[in-house]
Structure 1
Amino acid sequence: MALVVGDLIRLVETPKERASGALAALGGVLGVANALDVDLNYGLDGTDFDAREQRYGKNYIEPEKPDSIFQLMMNAFQDLTIVVLTVAGLISLVLGLTINPTEHGQVNTEWIEGASIMFAVFLVITVTALNDYQKDKQFRSLNAVKEDEKIKVIRHGTPCEVSKFNLLVGDIVRVEMGDIIPADGIVFDANDLKLDESTMTGEIALLKKNTTNDPFLLSGTKVMEGVGKMLVICVGEFSQAGIISKLILGKKSTPLHNEPAKSTKDDLVNENTPFIFDTKDAEVPNAKKHVQVEEDVVSPLQGKLDRLTLLIGKIGLATALFVISTLVIRFSIKTFYY
């Protein structure tokens, strides 16, 4: 029986107490390997890499799109000092163009001060946005290099290393102490293999993995003890780490051309197998909340700088209002009383 992406995801999402039964219903690890057309001892032979990538996806999770230059400029404009300068510049520009008309053929230059302020504000916003864009681009490049790990696999019957992003469904991965699981898979040939799944399930205790007890390894978890081999069955955005990432970012699942619109009862692993995540309606409890909390955490120095900037902005605004009020009163007295 051929397995599609939905079947494999449902298999991984099977509750722990029914995991062994669900795997046995497919003929165990060997049955899944046969359905994926791979030999557990030989690994992939390299003849169908492109077809596997099209059928099951690639082991890459698309990051959140970077902010555009315009969005970064709008973010820079949120600074209180910039807002105060903009308001002051607009008022100065309007007053320079309306209250001081030209006389006796003289050229009106009163508007230059306001225009200069507006130009300075635009220059600061542009430079800040370009600087932020460049830093974000460099950070993404460094992060991509950091995430491009070498994974120990068996291909053509020979142990070798491949890029994490080139990992495919059907690959045989060798895992050992200290490794981060790069994709979802089924463990076999394990020797006292224990994992820390706290990042995925919140389980603090180390979980022992084997084909008879708890056969599924989840992407993003860490091997704490032992060694073993894993048959990769879900990669990229179809792995558990990828599904959670999409839910946090609010993305929808990417449909594959070979995925059926509806699965019949016979296509499921068994009738008790949980349904696939629907990234449109599903929610990860507290996921966005935790992300927001992390983003809101600032260092003590940054907090002091923010408070100082706010104080300077308030003083500048008060000074600007005082100057404007004084000029308006002076203009009114000269115009209406003398």
Structure 2
Amino acid sequence: LRETYVCGGVGRSSGERAHYQSAQSMSFAVSTEDLSKWVRECFENSLVGQVKEKVLPGLEKLGGQDGLISSLKTNTAQGIRDSEVETRRSVFGSNYVEPEPPTSIWELAWDALQDPCLIFLCFAALVSFFVGVIFNEGMEWLEGIAILSAVIVVVTVSAVNDYQKDQQFRELSSIKDDVHVFVIREGTKKKISTHDIVVGDVVMLSTGDMVVADGVVFEKNDLGISEAMLTGESVIKRKGAYNIAPTEPADKAVSIAPTVYAGTFVQEGEGRMVVLAVGRSTYQGLMEEKMKEDEESDSVLQTKLNAMTDLITKAGMAAGGVTVGILLFRFALGFLNQACCKEAWDHSIHHLEYLRMFVIGVTVFVVAVPEGLPLAVTIALAFSVKKMMRD
């Protein structure tokens, strides 16, 4: 019977426990920052002159390609041990990137309500409602209720639609990101989730695979990688030891490089790589973080819709202002010429007349900016998205 221990690994034999403890005390000659920096330099300096000046000196500092792999305490033939996984994950990070917390439906509703058109419509609705109630103008207060109801419908539909799209996007992302790859651990070929990949893993690549982490190939292969996801170029990149032809000029492109990047695809061939960076430390992860820090820009459609909304809002405000101005001028001119309002000035009567003019101006604005416009655009976009999903 083999001896097992509860502490330091449940169900492990004495030999496995010693193995486990040695894994817990592992130290590495390179850091996550060193690896990420070198991978980034490889991606951003792909020309002959740049490789000679920046990439190769950085690789030499890491001990060359063999020294780099050795400093990660991995074996290209045997891979890493299962007992090392948690230690490597704590040192170099996880390949699972925690998604951003979902936006609540109330926050989405508040964002939708920030539209200047809707804000002005709310103001117009409140004015129309209180004028109808305070001055007992029959059923005119219903106009304010109708406008306010339309605004509530627009905000609700927009918020619910955005919330549903966010939930669907998260579900699709979780399925897309959780793929399985083959690695070599303890000399055995194993199929694991990409979320379980750690730095030092030996990953097997074949045609059609997505590269799930930044790494370096260490043997002769026929790998052809598409980096269009990162560069936008459709040219297939060959992978292997740096192939720098001694030709001039120095800006001639390097035909072969050893580094592969997360988010790219294997177009042809097979090979193996040692993982250098995972998760947020990959080049793709760093770029995504940088994009999040930048201010979000609207799409072309959103820009055009915003411009149209602003134009209609300004035109409606101008028309309402001109209408109120004409009514005020007509009232003042008639009062001075005693063509109307021959009775003495009465605050309760004449102030109400001014208020009526203001309500007319607001009504002109409401007519000029139909409250159904944002709702129509939202419904049209939602319908288009659902149709594309079916197709």
TM-score normalised by the chain length of structure 1: 0.68
Q: Which residue matches 1:4?
A: 31
Q: Which residue matches 2:271?
A: 228
Q: Does residue 1:135 correspond to 2:162, yes or no?
A: no
Decide whether the 8 Å contact of 1:152 with 1:173 is kept in 2.
yes
Q: Which residue matches 1:157?
A: 187
- The letter of the residue matching 1:227 is E
Q: Give the one of 122, 128, 138 matched to 2:152.
A: 122
Q: Which residue matches 2:135?
A: 99
Decide whether the 8 Å contact of 1:20 with 1:212 is kept in 2.
no
Q: Which residue matches 1:265?
A: none
Decide whether the 8 Å contact of 2:30 with 2:62 is kept in 1.
no
CA distance in 2 between partners of 1:242 and 1:100 (Å): 63
The alpha carbon displacement at 1:66 in A equals: 4.2
Q: Does residue 1:217 correspond to 2:268, yes or no?
A: no
Q: Which residue matches 1:147?
A: 177
**Percent identity between the aligned chains?**
34
Structure 1, unaligned runs of 5 or more: 102-107, 251-287
The alpha carbon displacement at 1:246 in A equals: 0.6
Residue correspondence of structure 1 range 28-107 to structure 2 within 5 A:
28-78=64-114, 82-83=118-119, 85-100=121-136
Q: Give the one of 241, 262, 265 matched to 2:284.
A: 241
Task: Kindly indicate which of the two structures has a greater share of residues assigned to helix.
Answer: 2
Q: Does residue 1:208 correspond to 2:238, yes or no?
A: yes
CA distance in 2 between partners of 1:81 and 1:34 (Å): 63
- The letter of the residue matching 1:10 is K
CA distance in 2 between partners of 1:211 and 1:69 (Å): 52
CA distance in 1 between partners of 2:152 and 2:264 (Å): 47
CA distance in 2 between partners of 1:40 and 1:19 (Å): 23
CA distance in 2 between partners of 1:232 and 1:33 (Å): 9
Deviations 1:105-153 (A, max 9, x none): xxx9865653464355335423431332122112211222122221221
Q: Give the one of 217, 220, 223 matched to 1:187.
A: 217
Q: Secondary structure at the match of 1:47?
A: helix
Residue correspondence of structure 1 range 171-320 to structure 2 within 5 A:
171-201=201-231, 205-213=235-243, 214-250=257-293, 292=297, 296-298=299-301
CA distance in 2 between partners of 1:137 and 1:203 (Å): 32
Structure 2, unaligned runs of 5 or more: 1-27, 46-50, 244-256, 332-339, 344-348, 351-391
Residues 1:139 and 1:309: Cα distance change in structure 2 (over 3 Å): farther
Q: Secondary structure at the match of 1:191?
A: coil
CA distance in 1 between partners of 2:313 and 2:233 (Å): 48
* Greater displacement, 240-249 / 176-185: 176-185
Residues 1:190 and 1:90: Cα distance change in structure 2 (over 3 Å): farther
Decide whether the 8 Å contact of 1:189 with 1:229 is kept in 2.
yes
Q: Which residue matches 2:197?
A: 167
The alpha carbon displacement at 1:162 in A equals: 1.7
Residues 1:63 and 1:314: Cα distance change in structure 2 (over 3 Å): farther
Number of residue equivalences: 288
CA distance in 1 between partners of 2:242 and 2:236 (Å): 17
CA distance in 1 between partners of 2:158 and 2:129 (Å): 24
Residues 1:320 and 1:112: Cα distance change in structure 2 (over 3 Å): farther
Q: Which residue matches 2:355?
A: none
Moved over 6 A (4+): 306-323
Q: Secondary structure at the match of 1:173?
A: strand
Q: Secondary structure at the match of 1:190?
A: coil
The alpha carbon displacement at 1:321 in A equals: 9.7
Residues 1:20 and 1:206: Cα distance change in structure 2 (over 3 Å): farther
Decide whether the 8 Å contact of 2:183 with 2:192 is kept in 1.
yes
Decide whether the 8 Å contact of 2:221 with 2:239 is kept in 1.
no
Q: Which has the higher contact order (CA 8 A, sep 6+)?
A: 1
- Higher Rg: 2
TM-score normalised by the chain length of structure 2: 0.60
The alpha carbon displacement at 1:65 in A equals: 5.0
Residues 1:13 and 1:88: Cα distance change in structure 2 (over 3 Å): closer
